[in-house]
Structure 1
Amino acid sequence: MDMNTIITIGRQYGSGGREIGTKLAEAYGIKCYDRDLLQLAAKESGLCEDIFNNYDEKPTNSFLYSLVMDTYLVGGYSSASFLDMPINHKVFLAQFETIKKIADQGPCVIVGRCADYALAEYKNCVSIFIHADINCRIERISKLLNLSEDKAKEVIHKTDKRRSSYYNYYSNKKWGEAKGYKLSIDSSVVGIDGTIQLIQDYINIMEKQL
Structure 2
Amino acid sequence: MDNFVVTFARGFGTGGKAIASQLAKELGIHCYENRILTLASQLSGLDENVFQEVNEKLREEGGFTSFLRGLPRAKGYISRNEKFKSDDRLFEYQSQIINELADKESCVIVGKCADYVLKNRPNVVSIYIEAPRAFCVERTITNMGVTPEVANATIERTDKFRADYYKYYTHGNYWTNPVNYDLTLNSERVGVENCVKTIEQYLIIKGFIKADMIKPAGELI
TM exceeding 0.5: yes
CA contact (8 A) 2:8 2:127 kept: yes
Give the structure 2 partner of residue 181 of structure 1.
181
Q: Which amino acid in structure 1 is aligned with residue 145 of structure 2?
A: N
Deviations 1:96-121 (A, max 9, x none): 11100011012100000000111011
Unpaired runs of 5+ in structure 1?
Answer: 64-87
**Helix, strand or coil: the match of 1:53?**
coil
Deviation at 1:89? Answer: 2.0
146-155 or 126-135: bigger deviation:
146-155
State the Cα distance separating 1:164 from its structure 2 match.
Answer: 0.4
Tell me which residue corresponds to 1:81: none
Residue 190 of structure 2: aligned partner: 190
Partner residue of 1:59? Answer: 84
Change (3 A) 1:17 1:3: farther
- The residue number in structure 2 matching 1:93 is 92
For residue 59 of structure 1, what is the amino acid of its counterpart?
F
Please tell me whether the aligned partners of residues 137 and 155 of structure 2 are also in contact (alpha carbons under 8 angstroms): yes
Q: Which residue identity does 1:11 align to in structure 2?
A: R
CA distance in 2, matches of 1:158, 1:192: 23
TM-score (norm 2): 0.74
Counterpart contact for 1:3–1:28, Cα < 8 Å = no
RMSD of the alignment, in Å?
Answer: 2.5
Distance 1:145 1:42, change over 3 A: same
Q: Deviations over 1:28-66 (max 9, x none)?
A: 000000111233344587479759734999632xx5xxx
Preserved CA contact (<8 Å) 1:12 1:160: yes
Residue matched to 2:22: 23
Q: Give the AA of the match of 2:37.
A: L
Cα distance in structure 2, aligned partners of 1:122 and 1:42: 26
Structure-1 residue corresponding to 2:145: 146
3-state SS, counterpart of residue 184 of structure 1: strand
> Percent of aligned positions with the same letter in both sequences?
33
Alpha carbons 1:59, 1:169 under 8 Å: kept: no
CA–CA distance in 1 between the matches of 2:76 and 2:22?
25
Contact kept? 1:58, 1:163, Cα under 8 Å:
no
Measure how far apart 1:4 and its partner are. 3.7
Structure 2: gaps of 5 or more residues: 52-70, 209-221
- Alignment of 1:123 with 2:147, yes or no, is no
Query: TM-score, normalization: structure 1?
Result: 0.78
